[in-house]
Amino acid sequence: MKPELKYIELKSGFGDTGPAWIGMAEFSKSGRTVYFNGKALKNSNAQGIAGNYYDIESGDEYWVSGIKKNGTDRHWAGSGKVMIDRNVVDLYLSLVDFNLLDKKLFELVDILPTDKQKFTELENQKLN
């Protein structure tokens, strides 16, 4: 699958105020695993308490969604700056209804690449 611009928020331990990112996410062939910022997030099939994906290493729940055109990606009860990959700012601004990032709402960061092979090997390990 082709990489997509996504909004990703950590839910475990934070509710609606967890760290949140906007950046390019990659997907497994099936589309059920999202690779982002050094993590592999597996679709929870709506079994999560607050998230729709979980980290296959830590079990932490994440909310993964597309970008909202009006820029209100955080839950209405949420707060905190959204970290946005400095490499996708122009793309993000071309998709939303505003032309500049509000420094009160966004923080520029560098999103880490993800070693997909590491997670493929982790998920395919034989059980003892």
Mean pLDDT of 73-92: 94
Q: Which residues pair with 35 in a beta bridge?
A: 26, 40
Joined tokens for residue 34:
């999202």
Exposed (0-12), middle (13-18) or buried (19+): which is 23, by Cβ within 10 Å? buried
Residue range 3-10: mean pLDDT, rounded: 96
Q: Which residue has the tokens 């597996």?
A: 42
Beta bridge partners of 42: 33, 54
Residue 111 — pLDDT band, cuts 50, 70, 90? very high
Structure confidence by residue, pLDDT tens digits, 27-62: 998 889 999 999 999 999 877 667 899 999 999 999
Residue 116 vs residue 54, higher pLDDT: 54
Residue 114 pLDDT > 70, yes or no?
yes
Q: For the chain, first and last CA: distance in Å?
A: 33
Tokens 């050094």 map to which residue? 38
| Region of residue 37 (phi > 0: left; psi between -120 and 50: alpha; otherwise: beta) | left
Residue of 92, 72, 63 whose CA lies nearest to 4: 92
Cβ neighbours of residue 88 closer than 8 Å, sequence gap 6 or more: 5, 22, 23, 24
